[in-house]
Amino acid sequence: MFFMRKTSFLFLILILAIAIIIFYHSYTDLSPVTMVIRAFGLIAYLLLSISLMIGPLMRISPSIFAELYEPRRAIGIAAFVFGMLHAFLVLSSYFLFDVSKVYSQFSLLTGQIALFIMSILTLTSSDFAIKKLGVKTWQFIHSFNIFAFLLATHHFVFKSNGLMPIVSGKGQINYMELVLITIGFIVIVLRIYDFISVNLKKSNLKSNLTNNETKQGS
């Protein structure tokens, strides 16, 4: 950026996005506790989405996004923190710490599994963890970030209150939820494109190596 580093600009955008989410929910007719619970959940989903966008974007355009590789670790950890706060408030306010009620609803269960995966990713999000685990093991563990995202997306879609009025025509549409589910869709498209692109490059590389070996053998 011409006026600040890309990493600083990214964090500025995220701080503004968090402020907008909180500001938007402060003008709803929700109770204060419900407002905070929803805001924390949406913030967690936003941060998780952004952290998963950076990798594919970096491979699509390294010159623009390579600088954001390191900050995505901090963004992922922040997503876990907000997710934990969201889960704690839900468990304490709605279920009075009765965990059995949480496990009785599949959409709540997917959220808990996503949070569990994110906790493992958070605990291993350090250079120390990479050194101790080894690069291959570390990469395998962190390949589960997409599963955490898909589970979180399932939880978000089926437990959100602002998306359902579009289908049922009842209740109040939460436009912030619509924005975030759109961002989630973009993440899925980027990850699919990245997966196909990476595998095509690997396939082409193997094909070129095989052709070179054939030429040398002849």
Check which CATH number belongs to the domain holding 148 and give it.
1.20.120
**Residue 216 in domain:** no
Domain of residue 118: give its range. 6-198
Q: Report pLDDT for 95.
A: 84
Rounded Cα distance, 52 and 121, in Å: 13
Tally of structural domains, the chain: 1
DSSP alpha helices (H): ranges in the chain? 6-26, 32-60, 62-65, 71-93, 99-103, 106-123, 127-133, 135-142, 145-159, 164-168, 175-217
Rounded CA-CA distance 172/166 in Å is: 9
For residue 212, is it within any domain? no
Residue 44 forms part of a structural domain? yes
Separation of alpha carbons 42 and 45, rounded Å: 5
What pLDDT is stored for residue 214 in this prediction? Answer: 61
Identify the helix (H) or strand (E) that includes residue 27. none
What lies within 8 Å, CB to CB, of 161 at 6+ separation is 38, 171, 172, 174, 177
Find out whether 182 and 49 touch, Cβ atoms under 8 Å. Answer: no
pTM of the shown model? 0.86
Quick check: is 145 in a domain? Answer: yes
The CA distance from 113 to 88, in Å, is 14
Q: What is the per-residue pLDDT for 122? A: 95
Say if CB 111 and CB 87 are below 8 A apart: yes
Query: What does the pLDDT read at residue 185?
Result: 94
On whether residue 178 sits in a domain, the answer given is: yes
Q: Has residue 213 been placed in a domain?
A: no
Give residue 128's pLDDT. Answer: 92
Domain membership flag for residue 208: no
Residue 140 lies in a domain: yes
CA proximity to 181, closest of 193, 196, 167? 167
Per-residue tens of pLDDT for the chain, all 218 residues: 556 788 888 899 999 999 999 998 888 777 889 889 989 999 999 999 999 999 899 988 888 888 888 888 999 999 999 999 999 999 998 888 888 887 778 888 999 999 999 999 999 998 999 999 999 999 999 999 999 999 999 999 887 665 544 444 455 677 888 889 999 999 999 999 988 988 887 777 666 666 665 666 55
**How many separate helices (H) and strands (E) can be counted in the chain?**
11, 0
